[in-house]
Structure 1
Amino acid sequence: MSDAVVHRIAAIPADGVGVEVVAAGRAVLDALAADSGGRFSFDWAEFPWGCGYYDKTGLMMDEDGLEALRDFDAIYFGAVGWPSVPDHVSLWGLRLRICQNFDQWANVRPVRFHPGVTSPLRKADDAPLDWIVVRENSEGEYAGLGGRNLSGRGPGNEVALQTSLFTETGCERIMRFAFDLARTRQVSKVSSVTKSNAQQHGMVLWDEVFERVAADYPDVATESVLVDAMSAKFVLQPEDLSVVVASNLHADILSDLGSALAGSLGLAASANLNPDRRFPSMFEPVHGSAPDIAGEGLANPIGAIGSAALMLDHLGHPAEADRVRRAIDATTGAGVLTPDVSGRARTDEVVASIIDNL
């Protein structure tokens, strides 16, 4: 028992169904820890930040919130957003503030097709589909550079500039991350997403760096695909995908498409990684706060629980992460599904089934 590892985790449920799915993931992780024979446990600290906190204080998180989070082993995040707060305020005030200041530059979004969940793709019925979207998470189109000006000219004359930022360092590190990941998969292939025919500066740099990095990985197959063509490929040739690396905006959109093709955004897990481990990484489901069903016990917890599996991988427990993924598949395969995937189960029923299947 003296060698037990205690993982200090900061939980930020934030808004809407985020509260429900973070509680679900915590229940699964605590069940795993209880079954570990004392090998590891979780020490949770929950922070009340989010839109409700903003309504009370005018802040999405405490001014010293980053300092409070700095020494945790990981951050487990729910969902941010509520009708009372403008989306750009809630996103930049909490989630993006954490991602950018903790240099969580690698966003990993697996696209997983679960047994028992009907996909709108006919190919999913008879072809094994499984790919990962690797998203550059620190710059690109979400760098936050730009501004609004000239409002003094009167209505209809204001100017807004939103500047994308592409650096060789940012492009190269996310591409090497994608290639290293591809080497661990059954199909070693990296597909780069670009739009260099129209974005002749930033995305041409992206293409040039990809070509240079690819030369260091002769064992990994590559392709470079325009983002509009890649959108079509997700639908028409998904069996040809393994690791897809893309800029902040392109990967954000494509990963949501992938999750929809798998059956629901409620299934989608993600990790915001600081691979250098200078700061804690953050794990969250891809779905939003879903105000329309918040508090009704109908939220799909699988995205959050899948994100907990990614956190287990990051914390050095790959076998336990695989247990969680198998338990999810056993649950969906048994037809224990929430309404977003045409089921009748409630959130707590899905959680109980996953824990039973561990």
Structure 2
Amino acid sequence: MKNYHLAVFPADGIGPEVIAASRQVLRKLEQLHGGVRFETREYGWGSDHYERTGAMMPADGLRQLEKGGFEAILMGPVGSRTIPDHVTLWGLLLPIRQGFDQYVNLRPMRQLDGVASPLRNPAGHPIDMVCIRENSEGEYAGVGGRVHRQRPQEVALQSIVFTRTGTERVMRFAFDYARQHGRRLVTNVTKSNSMQHNMVFWDDIFQEVATGYPAQASDQQLVDSMTARMVSQPETVDVFVASNLFGDILTDLGAALTGSMGLAPSANLNPERRYPSLFQAIHGSAFDLVGRNVANPIASIWSVQLLLEFLGETELAARLMHAIETVLREQRVRTRDLGGTSSTTDMTEAVCRALETEPVFAKGR
């Protein structure tokens, strides 16, 4: 029996609903596969914790997680109607990303069969992109401040931080990912025409790293024109590596192009596994959907698939991906973001049924 220890954060908004769906899928995988178990410990940190204590998590939160011996963290969306977004983000998610050196944010954007894209000719422009986003520094390094508040001379500074180590390692990850997954092209997303210091530095390191992968095709695109390329020529976009801010923006665009933010997973990775990695749907808290059992759980379930893949459970990951694809291709169960009326429960149960119809899992390891 292989036991995995997962920290689970239902977090905010529809988080408890989509995380419950993800846990149901994990239980189904346990039932179908006799050789694996997912032991979970739930943490109630997030906006409710902030309302009670004035903090999104305890002061020793990272230490608690590190001592827990977790291989991974499964988290719901973080955000509140009553707490400023910068407080919720810097109070929980970013401290975990930075404290656990989760320097790769992996976000697949693929239009699945049975899901409509807002593009006019999706068949002629297939979408299958992967963003490798630098996740620990860049525009979200948190360096800066404000002085002379509420005065005419008030100044706000937010410094972008690129280190050679941080930039080089995420670019090597992008090239390694492309090679390992048979991807044809790695695109460097930049803005070095106007940001003549940090983004030129970024470009220089990309070129240095690219020379170590002579068999891998690569190109470069300014971030503004990258948005147009993703819309008008998405079939030319394969793997792209981007800074924290650029990757954040471009992946929301990519998710929308694939048909719904409800289909957008992510993985925050510490590739060396010195710390647990974090898996989370990238949609928001969706306050208007809370408690109505109508949220699409696929983004969170797909994040579980990324978790399984990262843990090395490739068979389980492949079977779960196949189940997701089957449910969406058949179009019998559709949540409202996909133009249907099915519930969160309906979609979750459909994925579990699709898992049951797969060939029987091998027992044991």
CA contact (8 A) 1:34 1:41 kept: no
Hey, what does 2:359 align to over in structure 1? none
Deviations 1:119-147 (A, max 9, x none): 01134234442110110000110000000
Hey, what does 1:275 align to over in structure 2? 271
Match status 1:226 vs 2:205: no
Hey, what does 1:196 align to over in structure 2? 192
Hey, what does 1:291 align to over in structure 2? 287
Deviations 1:195-229 (A, max 9, x none): 00111111000000000000000110000100001
Distance 2:263 2:316 in 1: 19
Hey, what does 1:351 align to over in structure 2? 348
Cα distance, 1:319 vs structure 2: 1.3
Counterpart residue type for residue 65 of structure 1 = G
Counterpart residue type for residue 100 of structure 1 = Q
Q: More displaced, 196-205 or 114-123?
A: 114-123
Residue of 127, 135, 140 corresponding to 2:138: 140
Cα distance, 1:293 vs structure 2: 0.8
Counterpart residue type for residue 18 of structure 2 = V
**Which of structure 1's runs of 4+ aligned residues deviate more than 6 A?**
none
Identity, % of aligned positions = 50
Cα distance, 1:63 vs structure 2: 1.4
Question: 1:255-270 residue pairs with structure 2 within 5 A?
Answer: 255-270=251-266
Deviations 1:241-276 (A, max 9, x none): 110100000000001100000011110000000011
SS in structure 1 opposite 2:152?
A: coil
Deviations 1:284-327 (A, max 9, x none): 00101011111111111010000000000111111111111111
Counterpart residue type for residue 227 of structure 1 = V
Distance 2:237 2:125 in 1: 12
Residue of 160, 184, 189 corresponding to 1:164: 160
Residue of 98, 101, 104 corresponding to 2:102: 104
Give unmatched runs, 5+ long, in structure 1.
Answer: none
Q: More displaced, 113-122 or 88-97?
A: 113-122
SS in structure 2 opposite 1:143?
A: strand
CA contact (8 A) 1:21 1:304 kept: yes
Hey, what does 1:16 align to over in structure 2? 13
Match status 1:31 vs 2:28: yes
Counterpart residue type for residue 35 of structure 1 = L
SS in structure 2 opposite 1:97?
A: helix
Counterpart residue type for residue 347 of structure 2 = V
Count of residue pairs the alignment pairs up: 352
Counterpart residue type for residue 180 of structure 2 = T
Match status 1:237 vs 2:237: no
Hey, what does 2:117 align to over in structure 1? 119
Cα distance, 1:94 vs structure 2: 0.4
Counterpart residue type for residue 81 of structure 1 = G
Counterpart residue type for residue 17 of structure 1 = I
Counterpart residue type for residue 118 of structure 1 = A
Hey, what does 2:361 align to over in structure 1? none
Distance 2:81 2:125 in 1: 40
Deviations 1:17-62 (A, max 9, x none): 111111111111111111112x110111000011111001111011
Distance 2:342 2:152 in 1: 50
Question: 1:328-347 residue pairs with structure 2 within 5 A?
Answer: 328-335=324-331, 336-347=333-344
Q: More displaced, 264-273 or 63-72?
A: 63-72
Distance 2:120 2:170 in 1: 32
Distance 1:118 1:156 in 2: 50
The TM-score, its normalising length taken from structure 1, stands at 0.96
Distance 1:225 1:156 in 2: 39
Hey, what does 2:78 align to over in structure 1? 80
Residue of 148, 151, 164 corresponding to 1:150: 148
SS in structure 2 opposite 1:111?
A: strand
Hey, what does 2:363 align to over in structure 1? none
Match status 1:207 vs 2:206: no
CA contact (8 A) 2:297 2:348 kept: yes
Hey, what does 1:252 align to over in structure 2? 248
Hey, what does 2:360 align to over in structure 1? none
Deviations 1:77-124 (A, max 9, x none): 001001111110000000001001000000000001112111011342
Distance 2:183 2:6 in 1: 33
SS in structure 1 opposite 2:180?
A: coil
Hey, what does 1:130 align to over in structure 2? 128
Cα distance, 1:236 vs structure 2: 0.9
Counterpart residue type for residue 7 of structure 1 = Y
